[in-house]
Chains A and B, each alone.
Chain A
Amino acid sequence: MPESYPREHIEDLVDDNLEWNQLHDMMSDFKDADRFQKVRDVLQERVDWDDPIIIPYADHLYVVAKSADRWVIKCDCGHEFCEHDQNWKADALINVRDTEEQYLEIYPEQMHPHPDYMELREFFCPGCNTLLEVTNVMPGYPLIHEFEPDIETFYEEWIGEPIPTPESA
């Protein structure tokens, strides 16, 4: 049971350089205790900005500290969306696939949802145009705010560390 993987191993995980047998071993093994810190630190090195990462939020997105009491959701391209407890999608670009023609770009005929019953909402980063999320919902569905992390509980009670600030970085 590895208490901790070597930093190089975690770098390889982040950089997508691990072989399947290595990944499989990681799945089968007990979980390493310092994974969060290691991944966070590697990601911090990989981004081009200095705001300290509080948590990786989603692929390409992070919650970062702008000050000791202000945390925002930020893309790795540098675009800042909103406060950490808001829905970043409200500040994104959106394209809705809700016609047969648009569906056929992704799916063969008859293998896609019926546009009257379901639409695909594609959310892009306004900074780099990366596709960050696709949601499949009934037309008329409200925006879904998928994740509200409880950062204070996580840092204070679960890992017992201070929440990063620009000063501590």
Chain B
Amino acid sequence: MSSTDQTKTEERRADARRELANVREKRQRGEGIGWNGKTLREQLAKLEDKTEATGHYNGLSTLTLKRDDPIRYEQLYARLRGDLVTARETSKEVSATPIVEQEGELCYGLFTPEGDSIAVSTGIIVHIHTMSEAIKFMINHDYEENPKIEPGDIFVNNDPHVGDVHPCDLMTLVPIFHDGELVAWAGGVNHVIDTGAIGPGSMNVSQASRFGDGAYYTARKIGEEFELYNSWKKEYPAKTRTPDFLKLDERTRMTGCLMIRDAVTELIGSIGVDTFKQLSREAVEDGRRGFRKRIEKTMLPGTYRGASFVDALYEGQANVTRDYANENHLMHAPSELHVRADGSFQVSFEGANKWGWHPYNCTPAAIQGGVWVMLTQTVIPNELVNDGAYYACDFHLPVGSWANTQNTETAHAYAWHFLVSAWAPLWQHLSRGYYARGFWEEINAGNANTSNWLQGGGIDQFDKLHAVNSFEAACEGVGARYVEDGEPHASAVWNPEGDMGDAEAWERVEPLPFLGRAVKPNTGGAGRRAGGSGFESMRTVKDVSRWLLYEMGNGYMTSDGGLFGGYPAASGYILNAQDTDLQARFENHEDYPQHDLDPESGEFESKIDGEITRRPEGISTPKEFDDYDLYLNYLRGGSGLGDPLEREPEAVLEDIHDGYVLPRHAKDAYAVVVEKVDDEAQHNSAVHGEYELDREATEELRAERMAERAEKAQPVSEWYEDERERIHDQELIDDVKKTYESSMRMSKQFSDFYHEFWELPADFEWDLSEKAQRSLEGRFKSGTKMKWDNPTHGHETWLDIGRDDEPRVPYTWHADRSIQELSTPTASFGGVTTGTATDDD
């Protein structure tokens, strides 16, 4: 530490000691650390009451600071936001993992004393709200009294039931005091490389329950006077396979939080604490109004519906921690959005199926955080990203479903698998609204299933225990826009600034040299606008012992639908080769596989001898790999938009040359006829060959295709009769029937809708295998094991559902063909007329 840093540290500690004396003096007078002597819990309750009573955050019907001096207001907010971005950009250089340094899997937030985010940095802004929940948890579980919240304290959390998406996102929270009052919290979170789960990597997949997820730290105090306890420093590194990385990550988060704390202290010094308090309150209300105003400006009121699915296949997988977890799981996410007359935004997952013995379950904090990060890429594309949006929305997440387990036994290590898949329809809801309003430049078919996840660990090239978690998954194809194709290999929806990272950077920390990296054809969905393509990396293994690797992604289902006639993105598969002759091929200068551009070509198999595994599933549990084995890391594409027969034939020709479309699919998917004119020419891709377009033949083929459609297709009314018979006769596989049964048991509304739609008799029951019945019984009998003893008002839309038949967010799926009037909204802002927001976005 330099003498300047030493001085700064000592000053900060002296500040903390001075503030501590203030706080303790107040405590002796019976006063809390909240404003005007209130306890934090009193302050939070009052804020919630005022908000609910008035429809405005903390009762702020007028934004006086903004109204009286709008320029100054914007300057101050921009300064706060700038401080957060600076903290992120500076502190990420402290970290040693490419996850943070290359991908930027790091985010900071500034929060009110009650835990509402005022402003957030760039990065993984999903945590705009997860940290909020962690703060609220501390408040509502009396941390002020024990273990006490004091100046200089440091807290950590990674418990998804408290406020996180999954336990590998570790957050640091630091309270900021002024004159004995808590004025704000600084929070930072990053994705760590290993959490000490039962398998190596940050998001292991073989555990059945939370007890295999790794270490959970539940909103825990880990330091005071800005110094970590020795008990903490001695404990957590030993709980992971990558202690040095975690230590550096923690220094990253501490650096950022202290920078934010210093910046806030300086700001208060220059504008006064009252203005700072007013600014922090107004920013949240401004965010709430901005969100609603944007909805009113760009959407159409009404009801939007969709459904998405994803698979998690465990039947026959090795190393699953419990026999009863050895089954296939399918996620069912019915998605319903109501945009109400007042611009409020209500999202419901009524009909979602039961949680499972897999690590893809979600908590409300995960869903809400996840939805925010998605909304910031469409509804709130500005810097006013804060918990105002949280106050503008209602969520209905059925208790006991995968979306809200309310059961502390469930595993959550890769909650994103279900989460990313479940919000695919939300893109489409918004896009339908944008279409109707004419804002076509905002339309997007959806996001990619953000996989594969290459993970594993063992003894690495430096003979050290190590784990890997390749964040190439931060770079996926993006769904097609209405006005342009989807961006190829661009980012992941959970990190808008994601990147694939330099191969050399990954090779520094992973004993997995790259043999090739290329755009992967046919991964983006076909359409008038094509979904953005994904890419693939061919990795081998070098200088390891007892090394494990595994895959994680979708396989039997594609989670991301197309829009307006576009096709869904491709689904995943697994390709490995073990016990290979790669070393001999290197020594003999022979060809070896660098790609698997076309799985049907046989090219991969022609360039390697060994035990080859090629299967159309997306998930495998940890399996042993040795030097010179091969592993394909295939990153998915986005979905398409519009009828593929409307795509410009010239664009399809470019797709072939760019490596986005295999030549045979030009004809099959797009009815475009091309002819190969040169075998060896190479354009901007790994694909060889020069093609020319046959315009005349294309026109003829397209005319034929249009005519064929009418011949092949049937009226929906006829299809309905055939399908109904199929359902009555139960001609569905057991996994699918089990999923329907699970949703029906979870939701009377969904069950009624399903019965009504297919005209099933009241006594209809799915004919399930004994194993499926046992699985459902076991999970439904598990009941709830809630984490929060004292939920906040804001939790009501998660928690009251399931107590009776009628959710607060109305259920309007129906089989008949006429619109149903929505019942009176009883949202958390329901019944309150907020008036027209005057402050624009």
Closest Cβ–Cβ distance, residue B437 to chain A (whole Å): 5
Known contacts: A56-B438, A107-B522, A108-B598. The answer to whether A116 contacts B564 by CB under 8 A is no
List, in ascending order, chain A residues with CB within 8 A of B18's CB.
Answer: none
Given contacts A57-B436, A106-B668, A117-B557, contact A138 B739 (CB under 8 A): yes
- Chain B residue, CB-CB nearest to A133: B565
Contact with B along A49-65 (1 / 0, CB 8 A): 00000011111100000
Asked whether, in the complex, the Cβ of A86 is within 8 Å of the Cβ of B817, the reply is yes
CA A121 to CA B518, docked complex, whole Å: 31
Q: Is the CB of B301 within 8 A of A153?
A: yes
- Chain A proximity of B752: nearest CB distance (Å): 12
Q: Tell me whether A85 and B438 are in contact in the complex, defined as CB-CB below 8 angstroms, given that A137-B309, A140-B732, A149-B300 are known contacts.
A: no
Q: Is B723 an interface residue (CB 8 A)?
A: yes
Distance between Cα atoms of A117 and B556 in the complex (Å): 7
**Residue contact B736 to A148, C-beta cutoff 8 Å:** no
- A13 and B483 CA atoms in complex are apart in Å by 8
B817 touches A87 (CB 8 A): yes
If A94-B719, A129-B706 touch, whether A111 touches B570 (CB-CB below 8 Å) is yes
Contact A149 B564 (CB under 8 A): no
Identity of the chain B residue whose Cβ is nearest the Cβ of A63 in the assembled complex: B436
**For residue A130, which residues in chain B have a CB less than 8 angstroms away from its CB?**
565, 643, 646
Closest B residue by C-beta to A38: B438
Shortest CB-to-CB span from A53 to chain B, Å, is 11
A156 shortest CB reach to chain B, Å: 9
Chain A residues within 8 Å of B483, by CB: 13, 16, 18, 23
B217 interface hit (Cβ, 8 Å):
no
- Asked whether, in the complex, the Cβ of B757 is within 8 Å of the Cβ of A108, the reply is no
How many A residues are at the interface, by size bracket? 35 or more
With known contacts A111-B571, A150-B302, A153-B341, A59–B522 Cβ distance under 8 A: no
* Known contacts A30-B841, A138-B332, A154-B300; is-contact A85 B556 (Cβ 8 Å): no
B614 contacts the other chain (CB 8 A): yes
Query: Chain B residues with Cβ under 8 A from A99's Cβ?
Result: none
In the assembled complex, the CB of B760 is this many whole angstroms from the nearest CB of chain A, namely 11
Contact with A along B718-738 (1 / 0, CB 8 A): 011001001100001101100
Residues of B contacting A14 with CB < 8 Å?
A: 440
The answer, among B339, B440, B562, B735, for a CB contact under 8 Å with A13, is B440
Task: Answer yes or no: B712 CB below 8 A from chain A CBs.
Answer: yes
What B residues does A136 contact at CB under 8 A? 309, 557-558, 561-562, 568
In the docked arrangement, what's the CA distance between A137 and B560, Å? 10
Q: Is A46 an interface position by the 8 A CB rule?
A: no
Could you tell me if A158 and B757 are in contact, using CB atoms closer than 8 angstroms? no
Residues of B755-780 contacting chain A, CB below 8 A: 757-758
A26 CB within 8 Å of chain B = yes
4 closest cross-chain pairs (CB), A and B:
A39-B438, A85-B819, A59-B564, A93-B713
Please report B residues at the A interface, Cβ cutoff 8 Å.
294, 296-298, 300-307, 309, 311, 330, 332, 339, 341, 381, 428, 432, 435-442, 482-484, 521-523, 526, 555-558, 561-568, 570-573, 598-600, 614-616, 641-646, 662, 665, 668-669, 706-707, 709-710, 712-717, 719-720, 723, 726-727, 732-733, 735-736, 739-740, 753-754, 757-758, 812-815, 817-819, 840-841
Q: List 22 A-B contacts (CB under 8 A).
A: A20-B484, A35-B437, A58-B564, A86-B819, A87-B817, A106-B567, A108-B665, A111-B570, A111-B573, A113-B556, A113-B571, A116-B735, A124-B710, A126-B715, A142-B758, A146-B304, A146-B305, A148-B819, A150-B302, A153-B301, A153-B341, A158-B301
Contacts A23-B484, A145-B813 given; 18 further ones with Cβ under 8 A? A30-B840, A38-B438, A56-B435, A93-B715, A105-B668, A107-B571, A111-B570, A124-B709, A133-B563, A133-B564, A133-B565, A138-B739, A140-B732, A142-B754, A144-B307, A148-B302, A148-B303, A150-B300
